[in-house]
Amino acid sequence: MGDHHHGPAKGITRWLFTTNHKDIGTMYLWFSFAMFILGGTFAMIIRAELFQPGMQLVEPGFFNQMTTLHGLVMVFGAIMPSFVGLANWLIPMMIGAPDMALPRMNNWSFWILPPGFLMLASTLFMEGGAPAFGWTFYAPLSTTYAAPSVTFFIFAIHVLGASSIMGSINIIATVMNMRAPGMTYMKMPLFVWTWLITAFLLVAVMPVLAGAVTMMLMDIHFGTSFFSAAGGGDPVLFQHIFWFFGHPEVYIIILPAFGVVSQIIPAFSRKPLFGYASMVYATASIAFLSFIVWAHHMYTVGMPVAGELFFMYATMLIAVPTGVKVFNWITTMWRGALSFETPMLFCIGFLVLFTIGGFTGLMLSIAPVDFQYHDTYFVVAHFHYVMVAGAVFSMTAAVYYWLPKWSGRMYNETMGKVHFWISFIGFNITFFPQHFVGLAGMPRRIPDYALQFADFNMMSSIGAFIYGASQILFLYNVLATIIAGKKVTDEKVWDGAEGLEWTVPTPAPYHTFEVPPKLDPAHAHG
Amino acid sequence: MATTEQAPAGYEKYYVPESSSLAVRATIGLLTTVFGAGLLLNDMTFGEPGAVSSAKWVFIAGLVFFVFTLASWFATAIRENLQGMNSAQLGQSYVLGMFWFIFSEVMFFAAFFGTLFYVRQLAGPWLAGEGEAGRMNDLLWPGFEFTWPPMITPQEAVGGVDSQPIANNGAFLTQDRSMSFADAHHWYQWLPMWNTIILLSSSFTVHVAHTALLNDQRAKFNLWLGITVALGIIFLGLQAAEYHEAYALFGLTLNSGIYGSTFFMLTGFHGFHVAMGMTMLLIQLIRSAKNHHFTATDHFGFEASTWYWHFVDVVWVFLFLFVYIL
């Protein structure tokens, strides 16, 4: 341990060998941004091909590789690690801990990610091409009919899963064991709460995904028949196992986003969060329900009617706790002293667009009508409203909100606002028309389409290029801030911000809370 | 939130280790191992027969490097503890870490048990034409009847791999005899029963060892821990014998359709976990016998290993029930 008051080591070994939660958080955030750009590039190729009907730029097989890798890279490479990075930076500072509970394992869970993704991306250059079976990798497309590169895909999933499990165990141990005296569970900032519940979901479902890909591996290489009816197995079994992981997975992505929004909206409303306790219970309810709704992804697969009904009603129930959250955020803003800095703009954008995504989700939950929507662009529009406008918008808000605390420098507010408006407009031009083509029957994951969808697809592509380009502005703004932004020294960068992380100096020193802070007992929660 | 940097009474400083190369070394080991494993498997399945490749050396080099790194990682943690760096709070972090690690293992096995239940209760009957979902039976698998253990695969029911109406993805031939109790000739020749007795006893012996440690009886602790390790080795030996019996005498292989798939997946991963747990306990035994590690109040390495051991025992009870008996 030695002396705690020295700064970071110099050179590359600082990053390779670090055990510091802030360093590791920074690496997670930059890595996830790199993956965001990579996955975004794949998306641009998809939208360029779909700009006009007919085949223009890429082969159909390559198009399928692009849709597959876009999904995998965005879910496992961009969104999940970005929130883990945020957790690393913020959870110890929010609960008054000196670091994460298990610092060396923390470093390991980051460092297996980049080579894991390198292995996944290298499949693009292998014989037979990269995985082309969609990010859901349904058997038998991913077993009987897959290219040999699927083996490396499987091991990449194992590695990413191991990273997630270790990261989650660390977060659980940190939250349960490292809180400053007086920081009871019901005083924790909501971001910490949502991450605790997310980490529990991850530890519960990532091993199930590992089991699924292991069975694929056995079917491909060792002649088992888990997903082959000829031997008495069932390809539909794959879908059940995948979605038993996959549905909690979408809440793994969105719950930390809820946490971020629950920190930022009160700050710019200058009011405490409305209904703190109900927010905690709503988060827990959503997590519980996430385990019993998975088959709503597979209504058309041929399930017994009793199954369809059960999963339909269970899914609809999720709207209740989610509604509680949305109303609480709105009520927090009600009669607040609102101001609209960039983080707040992204949170309000989140609130509006996530609610739209929630409502289309409610539409999709209705089993009889889902037969029309299933595997159409309506589904694509739905999940991009919750993944991009939900998770990515809130992540962007988080970066703008905490960047001054991390770097000690203020970003360019005008550029931030421009980034928001271009993102907001570009996003809606991209995905709103997809509702219409989807309802009219355009299937997803097909490189060509019927002529009547041409105009809306051209709009979508233009919007996608706008949204993509706006990320370069974001990158520029962040880099310019870190290198030459206006210095800030106030501990509380935002006058309405609450929580322990705003009590440490700005920029946050390399080590914080080596001695636990003493909490003000009168304070309800952060 | 008003704060003052003030230590409450009784506060111990949390041990945050200095920067360490362990994580990067473990990453190199792990990724080389899985990359080598991928090359190895692809050579086996898709490669030219008889072609020479260096895949297995990549795999072996990665694995050796990984195992040595983990060993030095644990050695570091043990050394830190012996030097008194660890606070009670860090001990609690290790407890939580181990608990949630075991929970993740439970969920890993849940995937395979779920598979077994799904196949036996739903997919199997549907393939044989039962209910609404079985309407395609006449077209796809006419003549297939479902029992457990299965007497025939759907493929065999329609006359083999060339007669099946959907893509051929291998030949699946049912075993001559299953491993379940119903197929055993004599109860005393039935290995799973002996394995159950062995594993349940080993949970008891490891508990006796733990009690001895709590009472500062080093010799008794070593003896009973040694017995536990020996029982683990006997279990693995009997399982190897069972696998040999399955392959050589019963015609039960990984290619025996869903029965062989679930049987080997569940018992195989369980056996692998027994091997892991046995290794963990063996290391604790060496630590105690050779280096006199562990005291009545400080023995987390041993205690965590026993939790793991009880966990593989509980998994076995479920295996015994659902794979062998019911």
- For chain A of 526 residues, list the mean pLDDT of each consecutive stretch of 10: 61 94 98 98 98 95 97 97 98 96 97 97 95 96 95 98 98 97 95 98 98 97 95 96 97 98 98 97 97 96 92 97 97 97 98 97 96 96 97 98 97 97 98 97 96 97 97 97 95 94 94 87 55
- Is residue A518 in some structural domain? no
% of residues, chain B, pLDDT over 70:
96
Q: How confident is the model at residue B52 (pLDDT cuts 50, 70, 90)?
A: confident
Here the tokens at position B49 are 């027969």
Q: Do B127 and A517 touch (CB under 8 A)?
A: no
- Is residue A438 in some structural domain? yes
End-to-end CA distance of chain A: 31
- Is residue B238 in some structural domain? yes
Q: Do A108 and B23 touch (CB under 8 A)?
A: yes
Contact status of B51 with chain A (Cβ, < 8 Å): no
> How many Å apart are CA B153 and CA B124, to the nearest integer?
10
B6 pLDDT higher than 90: no
Residues B211 and B315 occupy one common structural domain: yes
**For residue A410, what is the enclosing H or E element?**
strand A409-410
Q: Do A221 and B103 touch (CB under 8 A)?
A: no
Q: What is the distance in angstroms between the Cα of A41 and the nearest Cα belonging to chain B?
A: 26
- Is residue B143 in some structural domain? yes
Q: Do B97 and A516 touch (CB under 8 A)?
A: no
Contact status of A141 with chain B (Cβ, < 8 Å): no
Domain harbouring B51, CATH code: 1.10.287
pLDDT of residue A524: 53
Cis peptide upstream of residue A140 (ω within 30 degrees of 0): yes
- Measured between CB atoms, which of A108, A206, A219 is closest to B27? A108
B111 pLDDT higher than 50: yes
Of residues A93 and B180, more confidence is placed in A93
Contact status of B49 with chain A (Cβ, < 8 Å): no
- A442-479 burial code (b ≥16 CB/10 A, e <16): bebbebebeeebbebbbbbbebbbbbbebbeebeebbe
User: Could you tell me if B156 and B172 are in contact, meaning their C-beta atoms sit under 8 angstroms apart?
Assistant: yes
What does the DSSP 8-state code read for residue B61? H
- Measured between CB atoms, which of B16, B46, B167 is closest to A19? B16
Predicted TM-score (pTM) of the model is 0.95
Residue of chain A nearest B18, judged by CA positions: A1
Domain harbouring A454, CATH code: 1.20.210.10
Contact status of B101 with chain A (Cβ, < 8 Å): yes
- Is residue A141 in some structural domain? no
Domain harbouring B154, CATH code: 1.20.120.80
Residues B81 and B141 occupy one common structural domain: no
Q: What is the mean predicted confidence (pLDDT) over B250-267?
A: 96
Contact status of B37 with chain A (Cβ, < 8 Å): yes
Q: Which range scores top for mean pLDDT: A455-459, A512-516, B17-21, B247-251? A: A455-459
- Is residue A135 in some structural domain? no
> How many Å apart are CA A402 and CA A94, to the nearest integer?
12
Q: Do A231 and B154 touch (CB under 8 A)?
A: yes
Here the tokens at position A96 are 């008054």
Residues of A that are catalytic: 70, 99, 135, 163-164, 247, 249, 251, 262, 296-297, 322, 325, 444
From chain B, the residues in CB contact with A184 under 8 A are none
The parent domain of residue A53 ranges over: 28-124+147-221+235-502
Residues B184 and B275 occupy one common structural domain: yes
Q: Do A517 and B5 touch (CB under 8 A)?
A: yes
Contact status of A422 with chain B (Cβ, < 8 Å): no
> How many Å apart are CA A449 and CA A49, to the nearest integer?
11
pLDDT of residue B51: 80
Residues B150 and B59 occupy one common structural domain: no
Q: Do B104 and A500 touch (CB under 8 A)?
A: no
Boundary residue ending a domain (B85, B120, B137): B85
From chain B, the residues in CB contact with A173 under 8 A are 93, 96-97, 100
The parent domain of residue B278 ranges over: 92-325
Residues B316 and B227 occupy one common structural domain: yes
The set of residues, in sequence order, having a beta carbon less than 8 Å from that of B131 and lying 6+ positions away, is: A304, B125
Specify the number of domains making up chain A. Answer: 1
Specify the number of domains making up chain B. Answer: 2
Q: Angle, to 10 degrees, between the axis of helix A235-269 and the axis of helix B88-118?
A: 140
- Asked which of A179-193, A493-507, B6-20, B140-154 is least confident by mean pLDDT, the reply is B6-20
pLDDT of residue B5: 45
pLDDT of residue B137: 87
Q: What is the mean predicted confidence (pLDDT) over B175-185?
A: 86
